[in-house]
A and B are shown apart, each in its own frame.
Chain A
Amino acid sequence: MRRLGSIPACQRIASSLPQAQDPFPGPAPVSVEVAQKFRRIDKSKKLPHSKSKTRSRLEVAEAEEEEISVKAARSELLLAEEPGFLEGEEGEDTAKIRQADIVEAVDIASAAKHFDLNLRQFGPYRLNYSQTGRHLAFGGRRGHVAALDWVTKKLMCEINVMEAVRDIRFLHSEALLAVAQNRWLHIYDNQGIELHCIRRCDRVTRLEFLPFHFLLATSSETGFLTYLDVSVGKIVAALNARAGRLDVMTQNPYNAVIHLGHSNGTVSLWSPAMKEPLAKILCHRGGVRAVAVDSTGTCMATSGLDHQLKIFDLRGKFQPLSARTLPQGAGHLAFSQRGLLAAGMGDVVNIWAGQGKASPPSLEKPYLTHRLSGHVHGLQFCPFEDVLGVGHSGGITSMLVPGAAEPNFDGLESNPYRSRKQRQEWEVKALLEKVPAELICLDPRALAEVDVVSLEQAKKERIERLGYDPESKAPFQPKPKLKGRSSTASLVKRKRKVMDEEHRDKVRQSLEQQPQKQEKAAKPVGARPSALDRFVR
C-alpha cells in the first residue's frame, strides 16, 4: 500500500541499481567421492536395534563424522601439487624410454636428481633415504659408510667401519644412522661418530625402522627378530622365528607389522606383542627372496626362488592377486609412495605401475626398465621425489621415475625443507606422540573396538555374583486367574501361546529378510519384465 509519490529519493536510487548478488550462493560444493575418502563409519553394517537415547547419540556421531569429512574434503584444495607421469606416444612402450631421454626432457632441477656414484671399490651397496627424502645413506659391503644430502650433494660423513656392512638405515631423523655390521649393530651420528654399539643385536642381516613407534627391528642370522626402542634404548622384544637365517625383511607402513621371508616359501607377519607370528602365508614353492609392502598396506609383493613375482592382497584373505614368472627372479623389491613396484633382477631394474594410487601394479607391462653397471643390492624409492635409488656393485644410481612419489608433503610431519630448529621441534612432538610397541597388530583400527571378550567375561561374572541376569528380559509369567481358571494346564497353555507368538515373530522376520536377499541376487540376472509375466505362476 505504498504510495508512489512518497518513496524517498535514496530508496528510489537504491532500487534502480542492480543489486550485488552472489552468483554462487551458499558454501562451495564438495564432491562426494572426496568426502567419502575421509569417512570412517561404515554405514553398511547393520546395528542391532537401539533405544531412542542411543539412537540420538548415534545420529550425533554420524552427523559429526559427515561434517568432519566434508571439512577434510574441503582442505584437499590445499594439495596443489600434481603427481608426475610418463606417457608414451601412441603405440610407444614407456619401457623403451631410457633414463637419458627422461633427463633430456625434464627441467634442470629434476635432471640433477639423476646421477650415478661410481664406487666400484667397496662394492655392492645398500642404501636408505631418510623419512623426509632429503638425505641418503649408503653402506658398501667392504665397510664404506656415507651419508649425504643428495639434493645438494653435500656430504655429511664418510667413514670406513672396517667391517662388512650388511644393512644401513636412518633412525627417526637424519641425525642418527644404524649400521648392521658383521658382528654387531652400531649407531652413528651424522658426523660419522659412533654413538652406540648394540651387542645384543648380533649378526644382523636386515634393518627396519618403525617411525611412529621408534622401534628398530633387526633380523639376524641366528633367526631372531629383535625390536629395539631407540627412544629409550631398550630391547622391547626378541622373537625367535624358528626358521633359520633371516635375510628377507620388510615392514608394512600401514600397521607397522614386520614381514619376514623364509626359505620354506612362507612369509610370516610379526608384532612385538606376540611371541608367535600373527600370520603365516605360504607364497612360493621355493624360498622367498624379497618382500615389499605398499604404503597403504593393501598389497604385498614377493619374489621367490621359483622365479615368480606375486602380489598378495593383505586385507584379510592373503590371496595372490597376480603372479608373473621372471626370467631370473627378482632379488629385491620396493614399493613407491604411489604404488609403483620396482624389482631388481640381476643388473636390471624393472618398474611396474598400476592404474590408480590404491590399485596394485599390473605386472603385464613394465613401466620403466633400466640397466645398471652392476648387480642390484639395494632398492628404495625416495619419498616425495620421483626418484628411485639403486645400490649395486658398481655404486649408487639415482633413477628418475615420473609419478613415483607423493607430490604433496605434510610440512608438520615430514618436511624436506625443514631447518634444524624445525627438526628438533618435530622430534619432541614425535616423541610425545610415540605409539606404544604393544599396539602393533594386523588391524590398527581394532583399537577403536570394544574388547568384547573381557566385556562378556565381566557380564558373566556379574551374573554369577548376582545370581541372575539383570539385563535379560523377564520370562513370561501368566497372571493367576480366579474362578478355577488358573489351573496348571491353562497356565501352561497361556505360556505356550506367548512362546509361540514370539517364535512366529522371529520366523516372520527371517522370512521378510529372505526375499530381500533373493531379490538382490535375482535382479541382475532377470531380463526386462514383459507384459506376459503376469500370467506366470
Chain B
Amino acid sequence: MTTPRAPVKMRGMVVVNESIRSFWKQSVPLMERIGSGERLALSDLLEPVKTSSSLATVKKQLNRVKSKKTVELPLNKEEVERIHREVAFNKTSQTLSKWDPIVQKNRQAEQLVFPLMKEQSAFAPIEHVLNGWKARTPLEQEIFNLLSKNKQPVTDPLLTPVEKASLKAMSLEEAKMRRAELQRARALQSYYEARARREKKIKSKKYHRVLKKGKAKKALKEFETLRKTDPAAALEELEKLEKARMMERMSLKHQNSGKWAKSKAIMAKYDLEARQAMQDQLARNKELTQKVQMASESEEEEGGEEEGDLVPDAVNEAHMTADGLNPWMVGNHSSDAKEAEIQKDPEQLPEPMANEASESEEEEIPVAEEEILLKEFEERRSLRKKSGLNQDAKPVGRQETKDSSTQEVLSELRALSQKLNKDNRQRRKQDVGSVRTVLSVPREGPAAEEEEPQLLQRPERAQTLEELEELSKEGCFQNEEFPRPASEGQQLESNNQPSAPKKKMKEQMIDLQNILTTKSPSVKSLAVPTIEELEDEQEREQKQMIKEAFAGDDVIRDFLKEKREAVEASKPKDVDLTLPGWGEWGGVGLKPSAKKRRRFLIKAPEGPPRKDKNLPNVIINEKRNIHAAAHQVRVLPYPFTHHQQFERTIQTPIGSTWNTQRAFQKLTTPKVVTKPGHIIKPIKAEDVGYRSSSRSDLSVIQRNPKQLSIRHKKQLKKD
C-alpha cells in the first residue's frame, strides 16, 4: 500500500501542467469580455473562464489525489493481538452460544435419561394393530361380515413396503436436508423466472431474431442427437410437433388475419420490411401446418381407441362389480383409505411427496366419481325393473371433466338420474315398508342430522353438569369463606382484646394474676367422688388446704423472680475494658472513675425480643439447640438468595411415611438416569436438531441474539 504513493503524485504533477496550458488556450473569451467594456474583478481572472470538460476531469483527478491519504502506521503488536483475540472470542462465543438453550433446558429438566438418543416411536399402521384384535360383539361381527362380503381389505397391508421404509427412514435430519434442497430449488426457479422476464422485456428485434434462430438450431441439433440415442423420445418430440400443428390449424395465428398482420398489410406496399414480415408469418404457418409423416398413423389409431374406450370401460366395470351388494363402496372405500393415508402423512413426509399425493388424489377423484355415476345409472336401470327403490346420492355436478365428449355423456346421465330421483321419491311415499328392506341413503341425511345435535348436546350437558358442580363448589367456598374472616376477626379480637386499649404500647402484658386466679366454674358432676374417711387422707387434705392458702402468692412471686433471673442471664453482656490505675491513682479501695468506666465500656448489641416477653406465666429458653442445629442446612444453595425461599422448597417431606407411594416415587426420581451397558456419548449437534455446518451456526445465533448480547458483551467489555 505504501509503494504506489510516489508515482501517483508524479502523475498528478504532469496532469496539472497540462491543465494550465489548456487554460491559457481557452482564455481567449476573457479577452473578448475585456473588449466589450464590462468591469473585471480580480476573481474573474482567477477563475477559469469556461468550465471545460477537460478541466473537470483534472479536478476529479486532483480530488482523488487529495483523498488518498498516506497509509497509517501498522498497529503495534499488542493491539493487533488484542483485536485478534476479540475477533476470535466473538467467533467462538457465537458458535458456542447455540448450546445455550439446550444447556438451559437440561438444567431445568426434572429428569435426564442417558444415552440421549431415543428410539423413534414406530409408526404402526392400522392393519398391524388390527392383527391381534378379534371381533367379539355382534356389532363388530356384523361389520366384519359386511367388509368381507365386499372384499374390503381387512388385514392386508395398506402401505407398500417402500412406503413403510420411507416412513421409517425419514429422520428429522433428513427431512431438514430435504427441505433445504427444496428451498434451494425454489430460489433457483425464481432466479430463472426473473431472468426470463428480463429477457422478454428486451425490445431489440435483432436480438430476438438471433435468439430464435439459435434456439431453432439448437432444437434441431438436439432432435438429431435424440433420434440417434433415444428413438422413443424422438417420437415424442415429433408428437409434440404434431400437436403444435394441430393447434396451429385450429387457431388462425399465422394466417395474416390478426390486428398486427392487417396493419402490416397496409404498410407492405411501401415497406419492404413489413412485406418480409408478412411472408415470414405465412411461411411459419405453412411450416407449422405441414404434416409430420411418421407420427400420423399411430396418432389416428390412438384417438380412435380413446373414443372407443371411454364409456364402455366404465360400464363394463359396473357390470363386473354389480355382483356384490354395494358396488359403489369399492371405489370410495379405497379413496377413503388414501385420504386417511394422506392425513397421516404430512408430518412424516416432506412437502413434495405430500403435494404429489394430493395432486394424484385430485386427479383420481373425478374419474372415480364418473365411474360411480355410471355404475349408479346401470344399477338403477336394473333395479327399476324389479322394485326400483334404490335411491342414489344426489348427482354431484361439481367436477369439470376434461373431455368434452364425456361431459356430454354426463349431462345426459344427469338428466336421466334426476328424472329417476323424482320417480323414486313418489314411489317411496307409496310404500314405506319396502324402504326398510334396503339401506336407503336419503334416510341417512335426516338421521345424521338428528344425531348431530345429540352428539353436540352430550358434551354440552356434561359441561353444564360440571359447571353446576363447580358452581355448587364455589357456593360452598363462599359459604365457607364468609365465616372464616369472621372467625379470624374474632380470633384477632380475642388476641387483641387485652392490647386493644393501649395500642401504642404494642402488646400488653398479660396479667399473671388473672391467669392463675380465674374463677373457673366448678363442675357439678353427677358422680361426686366418695371421700374415704381415712385419717391420713384427712391430714393430707388439711395440709393441702394450708398450702393452698399460703402458697399461692409465693408461687407467683417465685416464678416471676425466676423469670427475671432467666432474662438477665440470657441478655448479652457488656464488656468492661477499664484498667484500674491507668492514668489515675490506683490501689486498694480506689475505683476507676465513672467517666472512665463509661468510656471503656463496650455495650453489647440488644438481641431480638424474647419470645416470652408478653407471656408472664412462661419462661421460654432462648438458647440454641446446638445438637439439632448440626442437622440443619447452613449453606444456601445457588439460586436462592434468602433462607425463606429455600425453606419453602424443603417444606414437603419426601419420605414414604408421609406420602403415597406414587408421590414418594415422584419425589425421589433420580435427576439423571443412565442405562447400564450403554455408551453415553458426548452430545452432538445432530442430537439436538442442529446441523453441523457453519451455516446452521449462524441460524442458531440469529434465533437468540439477545442472549448473546447479554452474556458476551460483558465479557467483551472486560477484555
- Chain A residues proximal to chain B, CB less than 8 Å: 3-10, 12-17, 19, 21, 23, 25, 29, 32-33, 40-42, 45, 47-48, 50-51, 53-54, 56-58, 61-62, 64-65, 67-68, 71-72, 74-75, 93, 95-96, 264-266, 271, 273-274, 276-287, 305-306, 308, 310, 316-320, 322-328, 345-348, 350, 363, 366, 369-371, 375, 433, 436, 438-441, 446-455, 458, 471, 524
Contacts and interface: CB of A to CB of B under 8 A. Distances in A.
Interface stretch (B196-204, B215-223, B583-591, B625-633): B625-633
Contact of B445 (A4, A447, A453, A471): A4
Interface string B562-582: 100000000000000000000
A54 B652 contact: no
A50 B517 CA distance: 50
Contacts of A458: 634-635
B643 A369 contact: no
Interface stretch (B79-87, B117-125, B614-622): B614-622
Contact of B139 (A17, A47, A347): A17
B503 to A, nearest CB: 11
Contacts, number: 293
A278 B520 CA distance: 28
Interface stretch (B44-52, B53-61, B328-336): B328-336
Interface stretch (B5-13, B159-167, B524-532, B705-713): B524-532
Contacts of A71: 659-660, 662-663
A286 B547 contact: yes
B522 A68 contact: no
B628 A447 contact: yes
Interface stretch (B309-317, B381-389, B549-557): B549-557
Contacts of A62: 648
A451 B651 contact: no
Contact of B326 (A9, A54, A441): A9
A8 B455 CA distance: 20
A48 B520 contact: no
B439 to A, nearest CB: 7
B528 A348 contact: yes
Contact of B649 (A61, A283, A439): A61
B652 A40 contact: yes
B521 A15 contact: no
A455 B643 contact: yes
Interface in B598-654: 611-612, 615, 617-621, 623-636, 639-653
B127 interface: no
B634 A285 contact: no
Contacts of B531: 328, 346
B518 interface: yes
Given A62-B648, A448-B650, A449-B643, 18 more contacts: A4-B393, A10-B146, A14-B139, A54-B639, A57-B639, A57-B649, A65-B651, A265-B516, A265-B555, A318-B615, A319-B515, A322-B520, A369-B525, A436-B631, A438-B631, A439-B631, A458-B634, A524-B486
B645 A54 contact: yes
B660 A75 contact: yes
A58 B649 contact: yes
A276 B551 contact: no
Contacts of B528: 327, 348
Contact of A282 (B462, B617, B660): B617
A278 B612 CA distance: 12
B673 interface: no
A333 B439 CA distance: 85
Contact of B615 (A276, A317, A439): A317
Contact of B444 (A4, A54, A348): A4
A260 to B, nearest CB: 14
Interface of B: 108, 139, 142-143, 146-147, 326, 328-329, 332-333, 336, 372, 376, 392-394, 396, 439, 441-442, 444-445, 447-448, 451, 455, 458, 462, 469, 473, 477, 480, 485-486, 489, 510, 512, 515-523, 525-532, 544, 547-548, 551-552, 555-556, 558-559, 562, 611-612, 615, 617-621, 623-636, 639-653, 657, 659-660, 662-663, 666-667
A40 B526 CA distance: 44
Nearest to A331: B529
Closest 4 CB pairs of A and B: A346-B529, A5-B393, A438-B627, A323-B520
Contact of B489 (A6, A266, A451, A524): A524
A439 B555 contact: no
Given A305-B547, A318-B617, A3 B644 contact: no
B529 A328 contact: yes
Contacts of A16: 447, 451
B521 A54 contact: no
A45 B531 CA distance: 55
B529 A285 contact: no
Contact of A447 (B329, B444, B489, B632): B632
B436 to A, nearest CB: 14
A8 B619 contact: no
Contacts of A57: 639-640, 649
A327 B522 contact: yes
A348 B525 contact: yes
A48 B458 contact: no
Given A4-B442, A10-B147, A47-B644, A266 B559 contact: yes
A46 B455 CA distance: 49
A392 B623 CA distance: 42
B652 A306 contact: no
Contacts of A471: 641
B628 A50 contact: no
A169 to B, nearest CB: 24
A438 B447 CA distance: 78
A324 B520 contact: yes
18 contacts: A5-B328, A16-B451, A29-B473, A56-B108, A61-B652, A64-B652, A68-B666, A279-B620, A283-B617, A284-B516, A317-B618, A324-B520, A325-B523, A346-B529, A438-B627, A446-B632, A448-B650, A455-B635
Contact of A3 (B396, B526, B621): B396
A48 B642 CA distance: 7
A51 to B, nearest CB: 7
A68 B639 contact: no
Contacts of A13: 139, 142-143
